[in-house]
Amino acid sequence: METDMSLEYLSFRSNIPCRKIVLDDSEKVWTIYDGGPKTVRSPLICLPPVSGTADTFFQQVLGLGAKGYRVISLSWPVYWSVNEWCEGFRKLLDFLQLDQVHLFGASLGGFLAQKFTEYTHRCPRVLSLILCNSFTDTSVFQYGDSAPFLWMLPSMVLKKMVMGNFGGEKMMEPVVADSVDFMVERLESLSQAELASRLTLNCGSSYVHVDKLQQYCITIIDVFDDCAIASPVSEDMYRSYPHASMAHLKNGGMIFLLSVVVIVKKPC
């Protein structure tokens, strides 16, 4: 059964309302799903990869919400620089009246989670980080030189750039294949500006000042099969955060958040 037609996903869409939050101007619209008890003032916030949307983490919202955790899954509007994104996310937390949060980020979402932690390190807004298939330096991606020009590329070209990370024609377990189909549909829902801006954040010259994050509770999750993050990048993550907790999954593909039931430990 395809992921977006599963009973679990249908339960998510029927029980967790989708909220649209406008910040700054009418074009800065954040989309969020907020599950679990609203009395929890330090929720887990999930940040998707380039191709993800606010419903990418529906299993985490439902599963952890049922255990009494508050989980917010979101997608952001068009931002062309990391600093602009960090300032927008800070305003979102202020709007939601959340002083401090736990961040769970996948790929680009994990990079932005680190950058926001760095951005607010003098007045911390982050309690802990869970980084999935993430990275600390955008120079590892092949489109770095093209980043200033991505805004000009048509949507079809941008989508092909992202689709190259989905495993191509390789044989996949049915649940992994369904998860890839789900993410392809999410990718199709993104506008040209949304996709171009995300790829610009992903590939533009930027890196994390990891020395500013050493005091935080960090968990690193990696998948050993099809993944957009190469082994040297994962090894750099381990070196950057030598005191981090490690979690390794044997399989599940790049989209393991959907294809594998991941039990996330209680945030630090």
Does residue 249 register a pLDDT over 60?
Answer: yes
- Beta-strand ranges (E) seen in the chain are 18-22, 29-35, 44-47, 71-75, 101-106, 126-132, 217-223, 245-249
CA angle (114 as vertex; 111, 61 as ends), nearest 5? 80
Q: For residue range 30-72, what is the model confidence (pLDDT) as tens digits?
A: 999 999 999 999 999 999 999 999 999 998 999 899 999 999 9
In the chain, the domains with their CATH numbers are 3-259 (3.40.50.1820)
Nearest to 46 by CA among 133, 130, 135, 138: 130
Q: Tell me how far apart the alpha carbons of residues 167 and 231 are, in angstroms, rounded to a whole number.
A: 16
Burial class (CB in 10 A: 0-12, 13-18, 19+), 25: exposed
Q: For residue range 97-118, what is the model confidence (pLDDT) as tens digits?
A: 999 999 999 999 999 999 999 9
pTM above threshold 0.75: yes
Q: Which residue has the tokens 């003032």?
A: 41
Please state the rounded mean pLDDT for residues 225-235. 71
Q: Tell me how far apart the alpha carbons of residues 17 and 13 are, in angstroms, rounded to a whole number.
A: 7
Strands 101-106, 71-75: pairing kind: unpaired
SS3 call for 31: strand
Could you tell me the two tokens for 246?
A: 């490690």
Q: For residue range 125-167, what is the model confidence (pLDDT) as tens digits?
A: 999 999 988 999 998 887 767 888 999 999 999 998 888 765 5
Q: Which residue has the tokens 């070209």?
A: 157
Nearest to 74 by CA among 244, 117, 145, 60: 60
Q: Are 180 and 4 in contact (CB under 8 A)?
A: no
Q: For residue range 77-87, what is the model confidence (pLDDT) as tens digits?
A: 999 999 999 99
Could you tell me the two tokens for 136?
A: 């600390």
Q: Are 116 and 89 in contact (CB under 8 A)?
A: yes
Could you tell me the two tokens for 76?
A: 């952001």
- Answer left, alpha or beta for residue 150, where phi above 0 means left and psi between -120 and 50 means alpha: alpha
